Amino acid sequence: MRLSQLFTKTTKNVPADETARNAQLLIQAGFIHKEMAGVYAYLPLGLRVLENIKQIVREEMNAIGGQELIMTSLQSQELWQKTDRWDDEKVDVWFKSELKNGTPVGFGWSHEEPITMMIKNYLSSYRDLPVGVYQFQTKLRNELRAKSGIMRGREFVMKDLYSYTRSDSEHQAFYDKVRLAYMRIYERVGLGERTFYTFASGGAFTQFSHEFQTLSEAGEDTIYLSRAKKIAVNEEVFNDTVLAQLDLKRDELERCKAAEVGNIFSFGTTKSEQLGVTFTDEDGAEKYVVVGSYGLGITRLMGVIAELMSDDKGLVWPAAIAPAQVYLARLGDSSGVVKQADELYNRLTAAGVGVLYDDRELRPGEKFADADLIGLPFRVVISDKTLATGSYELKARRAEKALHVSLDTLLATVDVKA
Amino acid sequence: MRLSQLFTKTTKNVPADETARNAQLLIQAGFIHKEMAGVYAYLPLGLRVLENIKQIVREEMNAIGGQELIMTSLQSQELWQKTDRWDDEKVDVWFKSELKNGTPVGFGWSHEEPITMMIKNYLSSYRDLPVGVYQFQTKLRNELRAKSGIMRGREFVMKDLYSYTRSDSEHQAFYDKVRLAYMRIYERVGLGERTFYTFASGGAFTQFSHEFQTLSEAGEDTIYLSRAKKIAVNEEVFNDTVLAQLDLKRDELERCKAAEVGNIFSFGTTKSEQLGVTFTDEDGAEKYVVVGSYGLGITRLMGVIAELMSDDKGLVWPAAIAPAQVYLARLGDSSGVVKQADELYNRLTAAGVGVLYDDRELRPGEKFADADLIGLPFRVVISDKTLATGSYELKARRAEKALHVSLDTLLATVDVKA
């Protein structure tokens, strides 16, 4: 895309009403727009990052047999009363309204109940199981405070997967597959090395749920991490009994701030008992379905990456989720420069390499500052100077210095497939 | 996808609480799930149709320079009061709620106001214009009644595009481009021949807005159509003055029921005056931006197609938006049949042809009934009988009879690219 066409602009002004680094940078670079506290629109560059993350998650969910669908935001009181989660005393993040005839409705902050009721229509025999279904859904949560930018919003995108299985062992096998799929996702988006499988509270259902925690000073959680064993314990369940159970010793653990980027739950048969979801097994006996729930915050993941990977000059996107791979800065508008830059833009675009082509009438310093702020993996400069030397100036976003390379080297370097 | 894996099932039972044919069929075939009146979830097959329609619309919006983004559902009272559209007396479809601190919030039923306020941040000079931005957004509208299935819902997906231009003539040029893009969309989804550009009320802003009306007995509108001139007039503006203006005579017009599948508006400078959106022109003068708004209901379009293209056996999807191209029915489970069916499934899938592979243990009649109900463009049957004759049984969804064809003919026929 040509930057002369892109309607967003960058700004040097740090938004005064944002304390979170991710929101500051994403607003300054034109990726997001603040509608109100905790509520952000995703502008063209931001939407591309979001869609790139979704596509990685989609591939990994499909690979473990997940079937994609999309539930609704509007929720019925009747349904949520069945599991005692309608009352504001029980769930304090509901947004509620009502139909014209006075019937109360809620706005989906979670979808375990409706998705399980929907699945119930299609389950009767053991032959219908196991089933894994997932969606990318905009969740609405009436959070008291919303100061973490897109890391915790009142409106945000979540991937939520649900599993329906015949037995605890079948459930555990699926749960393990999800765990591995999640680790592949964090690896692919560039957070693999600093994201850890973490034992957390299981609530009313099981002793533990499991979180995926990414080390970050901006995180809201505290975990105790064993780097050697690559597991962690959330502070909320950190005690001697738990440590003994997990065969962990206090002195091998490091206390860290972390951001939760995924959370997986076993519900056992609690939900299916509440909602009456049964199947007939091979012996003709009626049994309750075992249910699991697997969340992964898409917008939060984007926020964590923006926060962690940035430096003092701006954002630094991993290639797999960057809104484009190459920032092509054309300096000056001599006919030779324009011709070579247009040619490179067309060639890379035709090869499927995403390019932001800075064809604007701006000073070099302004273009370089924008390149750093927007944070694509590579910056390429074409100027009268590079033209004279017959080379291209190429700089990786994190590199100290630019290189002067041939066209072949340039093409080989930037042809990064996500 | 193997139907033994797909969690949805078809049903012969017509849902008792649905009067709309589109909802009946889509529920029976497992494409959608009713959450409450006018509120539907999209299950795997339904989501595929929706995404196929969105992709066609996306391509046509990008082709006219549209930039995709995504706004928010949560809306602020303050903003909508500026244009006097917060009050329930003025807009009677708001769902409203409030933040924990008592601040009222609304849920987006339209996005002209927030998108225009967002754009305002990026507009200062004539050089920043024209701009076209669009989104695929889930709209929430508190409709009094919701009896038309997915043709009019309380929660539905709309593509809304907005244009910001420097002058009426620049606006008109963009408006014309959108009109042509819309006609290409209806053509591509299979409604081209029965969809007509229609003069409708322009409300407070201009004399006319323009609708795209698809002839359908299930539609809520009445139009007066000139088939010869390929234009129509909505009943709401049908009078002698308008006919004279449009150079139409009563006796060349046909009165028809129709469903509105798109609506485009010129706002002139009304919205930008209300919201203070100006630019500095080449002479240094400050001017108001000319605004246009272009809606296209994605879920409604799916509903209209489901309704219109169906027959007494079920749905009939146009190839371009079908959830898959081929329904592959394997009859029996002899090793030869399984082997050939598996091979064909793998071959078509590898070639990028979507296949629903009916590998279930069901009687032939049940498989054929499902093939007709689900409505893919082609049905292929592999059985001991076809194996014996060395041919494949191929039937187009609308064809009376099946053909027996060679593998080459089969591949050439079904390799339909959307």
Taking 50 as the threshold, does the pLDDT of residue B418 lie above it? no
**How far off is chain B from A206, nearest CA to CA, in Å?**
27
CB contact under 8 A, A73 and B155: yes
**How far off is chain A from B226, nearest CA to CA, in Å?**
39
- Asked if A88 is an interface residue toward chain B (Cβ–Cβ < 8 A), one would say no
| Distance in angstroms (rounded) separating the CA atoms of residues A221 and B249 | 72
Instruction: Please tell me which of the candidates A75, A122, A143 has its beta carbon nearest to residue B9.
Output: A122
- Asked if B122 is an interface residue toward chain A (Cβ–Cβ < 8 A), one would say yes
User: Hey, of A34, A47, A95, which one would you mutate to test binding to chain B, going by the most B CBs within 10 A of its CB?
Assistant: A95
User: Hey, of B27, B35, B349, which one would you mutate to test binding to chain A, going by the most A CBs within 10 A of its CB?
Assistant: B35
**Neighbour tally for A262: CB within 10 Å:** 26
pLDDT tens by residue, A312-357: 999 999 999 999 999 999 999 999 999 999 999 999 999 999 999 9
**Helix B407-414 × helix B335-350 angle, to 10°:** 40
Q: Going by C-beta distance under 8 Å and a sequence separation of 6 or more, which residues neighbour residue B219?
A: B213, B257, B258, B259, B260, B304
Over residues A393-400, the mean pLDDT reads: 96
pLDDT-derived band at B417 (thresholds 50, 70, 90) equals very low
User: Hey, of A10, A72, A119, which one would you mutate to test binding to chain B, going by the most B CBs within 10 A of its CB?
Assistant: A72
Residues of chain A with Cβ-Cβ distance to B147 below 8 Å are none
- Asked if B118 is an interface residue toward chain A (Cβ–Cβ < 8 A), one would say yes
**Helix A407-414 × helix A335-350 angle, to 10°:** 40
C-alpha A379: how far from its chain's center? 25
Q: What angle do CA B343, B344, B345 make, to 5 degrees?
A: 90
Over residues A83-100, the mean pLDDT reads: 96
Looking at chain A, the whole-number percentage of residues with pLDDT higher than 90 is 97
The sign one gets for the Cα dihedral A75, A78, A83, A89 is positive
- Asked if A133 is an interface residue toward chain B (Cβ–Cβ < 8 A), one would say yes
Which is nearest to A65 in space by CA: A181, A193, A209?
A: A181
Phi, psi of A415 (to 5 degrees): -75, 55
Rg from Cα positions in chain A: 24
**How far off is chain B from A394, nearest CA to CA, in Å?**
28
- Asked if A73 is an interface residue toward chain B (Cβ–Cβ < 8 A), one would say yes
Q: What is the mean pLDDT of chain A?
A: 96
| Distance in angstroms (rounded) separating the CA atoms of residues A348 and A325 | 10
Over residues B53-57, the mean pLDDT reads: 98
Do A317 and A45 contact (CB within 8 A), yes or no?
Answer: no
Which is nearest to A114 in space by CA: A81, A79, A83?
A: A79
CA distances to A110, A189, A193 from A56, in Å: 22, 8, 17
Full-model pTM: 0.97
Task: Give B21-73+108-309's CATH code, choosing from 3.30.930.10, 3.90.1300.10, 3.30.70.250, 3.40.50.880.
Answer: 3.30.930.10
**How far off is chain B from A117, nearest CA to CA, in Å?**
9
Instruction: Please tell me which of the candidates A46, A67, A105 has its beta carbon nearest to residue B6.
Output: A67
Do B139 and B154 contact (CB within 8 A), yes or no?
Answer: no
pLDDT score of A207: 87
Parallel/antiparallel/unpaired status of strands B286-288 and A155-165: unpaired
Do A71 and A114 contact (CB within 8 A), yes or no?
Answer: yes
B26's tokens: 């889509």
* Three-class secondary structure of residue B212 per DSSP: strand
Q: Going by C-beta distance under 8 Å and a sequence separation of 6 or more, which residues neighbour residue A251?
A: none
Q: What is the mean pLDDT of chain B?
A: 96
pLDDT score of A319: 95
pLDDT tens by residue, B305-363: 999 999 999 999 999 999 999 999 999 999 999 999 999 999 999 999 999 999 999 99
Give the number of residues written for chain A: 418
Looking at chain B, the whole-number percentage of residues with pLDDT higher than 90 is 97
Residues of chain B with Cβ-Cβ distance to A128 below 8 Å are 7
User: Hey, of A69, A94, A156, which one would you mutate to test binding to chain B, going by the most B CBs within 10 A of its CB?
Assistant: A69
Instruction: Please tell me which of the candidates B36, B71, B107 has its beta carbon nearest to residue A107.
Output: B107
Give the start-to-end residue ranges of the domains of chain A: 21-73+108-309, 326-414
Parallel/antiparallel/unpaired status of strands B326-330 and B378-382: parallel
Residues of chain B with Cβ-Cβ distance to A119 below 8 Å are 7
Please state whether B106 falls in left (phi above 0), alpha (psi between -120 and 50) or beta: beta
| Distance in angstroms (rounded) separating the CA atoms of residues A225 and A212 | 12
Phi, psi of A189 (to 5 degrees): -90, 0
Identify any residues that bridge with B36 across adjacent strands, giving them in sequence order: B39
Residues of chain A with Cβ-Cβ distance to B35 below 8 Å are 71-72, 74-76, 114
Scanning the structure block, which residue is given the tokens 């040097």? A12
Over residues B55-83, the mean pLDDT reads: 97
Tell me B167's DSSP state.
Answer: S
pLDDT score of A77: 97
| Distance in angstroms (rounded) separating the CA atoms of residues B301 and B305 | 6
pLDDT-derived band at A416 (thresholds 50, 70, 90) equals low
Which is nearest to B215 in space by CA: B324, B82, B309, B344?
A: B309
* Three-class secondary structure of residue B324 per DSSP: coil
CB contact under 8 A, B69 and A44: yes
pLDDT tens by residue, B184-233: 999 999 999 999 999 999 877 788 999 999 999 999 999 999 999 999 99
Going along A59-207, which residue ranges are E strands?
A: 67-68, 74-76, 95-98, 104-107, 131-140, 155-165, 195-201
- For the CA atoms of A306, B74, A10, B121, what is the dihedral angle to 10 degrees? -170
Taking 70 as the threshold, does the pLDDT of residue A44 lie above it? yes
- Asked if B33 is an interface residue toward chain A (Cβ–Cβ < 8 A), one would say yes
**How far off is chain B from A5, nearest CA to CA, in Å?**
8
pLDDT score of B356: 98
Instruction: Please tell me which of the candidates B33, B96, B133 has its beta carbon nearest to residue A118.
Output: B33
CB contact under 8 A, B35 and A76: yes
CATH superfamily membership of A326-414? Anticodon-binding domain (3.40.50.800)
Parallel/antiparallel/unpaired status of strands A392-396 and A403-405: antiparallel
Parallel/antiparallel/unpaired status of strands A131-140 and A67-68: parallel
User: Hey, of A6, A105, A359, which one would you mutate to test binding to chain B, going by the most B CBs within 10 A of its CB?
Assistant: A105
A100-132: burial string, b at 16+ Cβ within 10 Å, e else:
eeeeebbbbbbbbbbbbbbbbbbbeebebbbbb
Helix (H) / strand (E) containing B34:
strand B32-36
CB contact under 8 A, A7 and B105: no
User: Hey, of B17, B33, B133, which one would you mutate to test binding to chain A, going by the most A CBs within 10 A of its CB?
Assistant: B33
Residues of chain B with Cβ-Cβ distance to A100 below 8 Å are 142-144
pLDDT score of B416: 53
- Asked if A131 is an interface residue toward chain B (Cβ–Cβ < 8 A), one would say yes
CB contact under 8 A, A128 and B7: yes
pLDDT score of A417: 46
pLDDT tens by residue, A208-267: 999 999 999 999 999 999 999 999 999 999 999 999 999 999 999 999 999 999 999 999
CB contact under 8 A, A155 and B70: no
Over residues B269-276, the mean pLDDT reads: 94
| Distance in angstroms (rounded) separating the CA atoms of residues A56 and A77 | 34
Over residues A294-298, the mean pLDDT reads: 98
Give the number of residues written for chain B: 418
| Distance in angstroms (rounded) separating the CA atoms of residues B130 and B292 | 11
- Asked if B95 is an interface residue toward chain A (Cβ–Cβ < 8 A), one would say yes
* Three-class secondary structure of residue A253 per DSSP: coil
- Asked if A174 is an interface residue toward chain B (Cβ–Cβ < 8 A), one would say no
pLDDT score of B29: 98
Q: Going by C-beta distance under 8 Å and a sequence separation of 6 or more, which residues neighbour residue B194?
A: B214, B215, B216, B308
- Asked if B335 is an interface residue toward chain A (Cβ–Cβ < 8 A), one would say no
- For the CA atoms of A111, A114, A115, A117, what is the dihedral angle to 10 degrees? 150
- Asked if B41 is an interface residue toward chain A (Cβ–Cβ < 8 A), one would say yes
pLDDT-derived band at A418 (thresholds 50, 70, 90) equals very low
Cis peptide before A130 (omega within 30 of 0): yes
pLDDT score of A205: 74
Q: What ipTM did this prediction achieve?
A: 0.96
